[in-house]
Structure 1
Amino acid sequence: MQVFFAIWFGQLMSLIGSSLTGFALGVWVYQRTGSVTQLALISVSTVLPKILISPFAGAFVDRWNRRQAMLFGDTGAGLVTLAIAILFFVGKLEIWQIYLGTAVSSICSSFQWPAYLAATTQLVPKQHLSRASGLIHLSESIAQLTSPILAGVLVTTIQIQGVFLLDFITFLFALITLLFIKFPEHRTKADNQEKSSLLREILQGWTYIKTRPGLLGLTLLVAATNSLGGIVEVLATPLILSFASPAALGTVLSIGGSGMLVGTLLMSTWGGSQHLMRNVFCFLLLSGLSILSVGLKADTSLVALSAFLFFLSLPITNTSIDVIFQKKVVPDIQGRVFALMGMITESCIPVSYLLAGPLADRVFEPLLAPNGALAGNIGQLIGIGKGRGIALMFIIIGALTMAIAIIAYQYPRLRLVEKELPDAIADPATKNHHESFSE
């Protein structure tokens, strides 16, 4: 855990730096163009390349040393930041270059993330995987909470070029951490054999998931809930602003972020229930209930409580899922499996982003307008007017999330995946103490 903690701290610094730059670039793009669409395209250029490249990145991660893959990802992202900073300093930075740089960073992340998860399996004893995964999600929570505040202060004090420099320093810190910490050497069964084609290795990762119904069911469960969560992510801001001020929106988001922080701290210290699937089902139900309750009444206190509980449940659910895969997937192909799982579970999110607006504007908002088709019945319960159509969407999405969790629980291969599927990893503490380590 001490070795893992050192790596985790380096990655935390890098993540905070990247989040600062992302926030600063978003402000710069919006101030320069005044276009929400231009701003949204940054998110698209972040998500799509990672989805497309992940299967290939996972195969390379399994071929390479885990540290090499992490070094590749961090170095690539650091060089992108340096290139954008140079273009900014010489006054040549254009919007399309930001999209390109974001896409390249996304590709680098598709190598770094599965390597990070696979390296964790090598470094951390099985009984501490929940805590280690909790720490990984804790770093995301810290970045989410601190980066907007820090970036807002830094942009006005040291300006955007100072943010670029600070981000590059955090990348160097992460690289130095990786270079000076020893990793257990990663050996694959094919080390002394001719390597198969890249496509065949990718298919091996898919076959591993497909032939284990519990893991396939878990992947599809995450994909289904992610697709609903993408709609919630897009519509939360307009829903809250329909009855509350921007300041109240900021307060609600901060309370939600504190819920995520509490959830990650719980997992990184307590580790959660030993029955990981119980965590998944219970906290998915809590997530659905939280989403549903947001739509019941235009009340800031209710929304704040729901946001806290929703974000509290996220890291507990995600950490439990990560640990199940870390325990049940053979280390030789973890890179491929983690990358494929990420591709499958995230591929539906851009579709949700695209559907959310039209569904709200053209379908649900008119239904609960003062003279809408549902104003005389459902409108009497949850209200009518601006934002109440989105509120109805939240109620439906929350109910669907709970229904998905209940239906998934009925599938025994998924419910019993921890018992039926044997652990595929050995505890590092029980390995031969003469195992060689890479320099």
Structure 2
Amino acid sequence: MHNKSFRTFLLIWAGQFISVIGTSLTSFALGFWVLTETGSVTQFSMIILSVVLPTVIISPFAGVIIDRFSRKKLMMMSNCVAAFSTSIILVLVLTNSLEVWHIYVTSALASTFNTFLMPTYQSVISLLVPKQQLSRANGMIQVGESASIIIAPTVAGLLLYLHGLQAIIFIDLFAFLIAVTTLFFAKIPELEVKATTKLNIQQFLVEAKEGWNYIMSRPGFKWLLIFSASINLLLGFVNVLLQPLIITLSSEQVLGVVLSISGFGMLLGGIFISVWGGPKQRIKGIFYGCGMAGILISLAGFTTSIVFITVCFSLFLFLIPLVNSCSQAVWQSKVEPSIQGRVFTLRRMFSISLYPLAIIIAGPLVDKVFNPLMAENGILANSIGQLIGSGDGRGIGLLFILIGSLFVVVTMLIYLHPRVRNMEIEIPDALTDDPEQPIMQPESV
């Protein structure tokens, strides 16, 4: 039975893997289009906000829908709506009518339904994959995400040069078709639908609150949520500032090489966790991995050597699949399947809730504070500057040292909490050893 259910997961994973690649091609191409058409980093960053904000706003309510309706149908619908938003862009491109605000609107539309897709996908994994293999399955998902980081810049850039934006969008639409087709043929177990209580506004709010209460009644989950939000805030600064640091120290051409090599680090990490299956004590995998990641961020800030920075961030990205797969496996194995939709959407919302703050303040913080402090004649040039250097790129370098140090401190403080450190023992498993053991029979919705 395990083999059959895992084959179903592989079918779904293959379709979503192709879809992620297609979407990453379009995302890169549209971002490049905005930068070349406007020359504005602010307008480019608005694409990120148009993706993040719908997730934060809709997540508390999306979980109720996920837990009440067919998860297979929700995944298919989410892919179809994303394809529809991409089709709108295609029509605008073919008619030479595309404007920047169109990209914001369609990105927000796709993100709205992606808020349903990802938590549903994660909950489906727990229905198909034996709990001992959850880290391996989540590692495979990380492989898809890391592969998109490597493939998108090179392939999208080549396609833009040879055939234009419309060619990339056609490929993306074909990828959506493959994803929906694999979902159509996949046999996904369904949970019993709450048909006893009519879903009105009051009941909707009651059920949404159940997800919140589920997390708050388990201190381990509550502190893991706080940890995730804190770490993602720090990661937001790294994501925004890494490329300016590389360009300041070298050139745009070197940046492409650094990003590609670092992307391979993440890909290798995903493959490694998929083959290995992850540590038995997943909490240690999360916190040991984050501790080492913080050290690597700090080390990258001490130097102006592009080679050393590349090595640090390649190793840093190698650790990301380990941390993500272990974290996801903990939630999947410990949360009751009947409430996973609500819990997972709340988890996703809080995890990225502080991310926009990093996007907004990272640039001004470097330009107004850290760069002046670390300039050739800056206040810190004769003190900290003697250790890490002064001048170009040293403001971001100092900020990276501080971010990495905060990474380690936050990781240590949360891990020392006994409810977190012992949560795999204290919170019972919500899954059986056999993922195909019938939990409840499906009802049509």
TM-score normalised by length of structure 2: 0.95
Query: What is the rounded CA distance, in whole Å, between the counterparts of 1:255 and 1:92 in structure 2?
Result: 37
Please give the secondary structure, in 1, of the residue aligned with 2:378. coil
Q: Residue in 2 aligned with 1:74?
A: 79
Pick from 189, 203, 206 the counterpart of residue 197 of structure 1. 203
- Counterpart AA for 2:95: V
- Counterpart AA for 2:138: S
Asked if 1:392 corresponds to 2:380, the answer is no
How much has 1:421 moved relative to structure 2?
A: 0.4
Asked if 1:406 corresponds to 2:441, the answer is no
The answer to whether the 8 Å contact 1:409/1:415 transfers is: yes
The C-alpha deviation readout for 1:67-118, integer Å capped at 9, x for no partner, is 0110121010001111111122122222211110010011010010110001
Pick from 210, 216, 220 the counterpart of residue 210 of structure 1. 216
**Larger mean Cα displacement after TM superposition, 232-241 or 310-319:** 232-241
The answer to whether the 8 Å contact 1:295/1:391 transfers is: yes
The answer to whether the 8 Å contact 1:277/1:415 transfers is: yes
How much has 1:248 moved relative to structure 2?
A: 2.2
Query: What is the rounded CA distance, in whole Å, between the counterparts of 1:66 and 1:430 in structure 2?
Result: 16
Q: Residue in 1 aligned with 2:346?
A: 340
Query: What is the rounded CA distance, in whole Å, between the counterparts of 1:437 and 1:15 in structure 2?
Result: 30
The answer to whether the 8 Å contact 1:59/1:201 transfers is: yes
The C-alpha deviation readout for 1:32-70, integer Å capped at 9, x for no partner, is 222222222111111111111111112111111110110
The correspondence of residues 19-168 of structure 1 with structure 2, limited to 5 A, is: 19-168=24-173
Q: Residue in 2 aligned with 1:416?
A: 422
The C-alpha deviation readout for 1:133-181, integer Å capped at 9, x for no partner, is 1111111111111111111111122221111111111111111111111
Q: Residue in 1 aligned with 2:262?
A: 256
The answer to whether the 8 Å contact 1:81/1:164 transfers is: yes
Please give the secondary structure, in 2, of the residue aligned with 1:242. helix
Gaps of 5+ in 1: none
Please give the secondary structure, in 2, of the residue aligned with 1:73. helix
Asked if 1:328 corresponds to 2:334, the answer is yes
The answer to whether the 8 Å contact 2:373/2:379 transfers is: yes
Pick from 284, 288, 293 the counterpart of residue 287 of structure 1. 293
- Counterpart AA for 1:69: L
The answer to whether the 8 Å contact 2:269/2:322 transfers is: yes
- Counterpart AA for 2:195: D
How much has 1:428 moved relative to structure 2?
A: 3.0
Please give the secondary structure, in 2, of the residue aligned with 1:97. helix
Query: What is the rounded CA distance, in whole Å, between the counterparts of 2:269 and 2:411 in structure 1?
Result: 20
How much has 1:405 moved relative to structure 2?
A: 1.1
Query: What is the rounded CA distance, in whole Å, between the counterparts of 1:357 and 1:430 in structure 2?
Result: 50
How much has 1:193 moved relative to structure 2?
A: 4.2
How much has 1:374 moved relative to structure 2?
A: 1.0
Query: What is the rounded CA distance, in whole Å, between the counterparts of 1:29 and 1:164 in structure 2?
Result: 15
The answer to whether the 8 Å contact 1:182/1:438 transfers is: no
Distance 1:227 1:254, change over 3 A: same
Query: What is the rounded CA distance, in whole Å, between the counterparts of 1:403 and 1:193 in structure 2?
Result: 46
Query: What is the rounded CA distance, in whole Å, between the counterparts of 1:151 and 1:309 in structure 2?
Result: 26
Pick from 10, 15, 23 the counterpart of residue 5 of structure 1. 10
Number of corresponding residues: 438
Distance 1:235 1:429, change over 3 A: closer
Q: Which runs of 4+ in 1 moved over 3 A?
A: 191-196, 432-439
How much has 1:245 moved relative to structure 2?
A: 2.4
Query: What is the rounded CA distance, in whole Å, between the counterparts of 1:407 and 1:222 in structure 2?
Result: 13
Query: What is the rounded CA distance, in whole Å, between the counterparts of 2:127 and 2:372 in structure 1?
Result: 54
Distance 1:121 1:388, change over 3 A: same
Asked if 1:351 corresponds to 2:357, the answer is yes
- Counterpart AA for 1:314: I
The answer to whether the 8 Å contact 2:127/2:436 transfers is: no
Query: What is the rounded CA distance, in whole Å, between the counterparts of 2:125 and 2:240 in structure 1?
Result: 32
**Larger mean Cα displacement after TM superposition, 31-40 or 292-301:** 31-40
The C-alpha deviation readout for 1:255-292, integer Å capped at 9, x for no partner, is 21111111111111111111001101111111101100
The C-alpha deviation readout for 1:396-424, integer Å capped at 9, x for no partner, is 11111011111112100001110110011
CA root-mean-square deviation: 1.7
How much has 1:131 moved relative to structure 2?
A: 0.9
Pick from 175, 178, 199 the counterpart of residue 170 of structure 1. 175
The answer to whether the 8 Å contact 1:114/1:339 transfers is: yes
- Counterpart AA for 1:251: V
TM-score normalised by length of structure 1: 0.96
Please give the secondary structure, in 1, of the residue aligned with 2:249. coil
Query: What is the rounded CA distance, in whole Å, between the counterparts of 1:114 and 1:199 in structure 2?
Result: 19
Query: What is the rounded CA distance, in whole Å, between the counterparts of 2:443 and 2:222 in structure 1?
Result: 34
The answer to whether the 8 Å contact 1:4/1:124 transfers is: yes
How much has 1:358 moved relative to structure 2?
A: 1.4
How much has 1:438 moved relative to structure 2?
A: 8.5
- Counterpart AA for 1:191: A
Distance 1:275 1:25, change over 3 A: same
Query: What is the rounded CA distance, in whole Å, between the counterparts of 2:101 and 2:90 in structure 1?
Result: 15
Query: What is the rounded CA distance, in whole Å, between the counterparts of 1:91 and 1:250 in structure 2?
Result: 30
How much has 1:201 moved relative to structure 2?
A: 1.2
Q: Residue in 1 aligned with 2:3?
A: none
Query: What is the rounded CA distance, in whole Å, between the counterparts of 2:89 and 2:306 in structure 1?
Result: 40
Q: Residue in 2 aligned with 1:314?
A: 320
Query: What is the rounded CA distance, in whole Å, between the counterparts of 1:5 and 1:438 in structure 2?
Result: 25
Gaps of 5+ in 2: 1-5
Please give the secondary structure, in 1, of the residue aligned with 2:303. coil
The answer to whether the 8 Å contact 1:17/1:166 transfers is: yes
Distance 1:269 1:435, change over 3 A: farther
Identity %: 41
Query: What is the rounded CA distance, in whole Å, between the counterparts of 1:434 and 1:317 in structure 2?
Result: 32
Pick from 264, 274, 277 the counterpart of residue 280 of structure 2. 274
Query: What is the rounded CA distance, in whole Å, between the counterparts of 2:439 and 2:203 in structure 1?
Result: 34
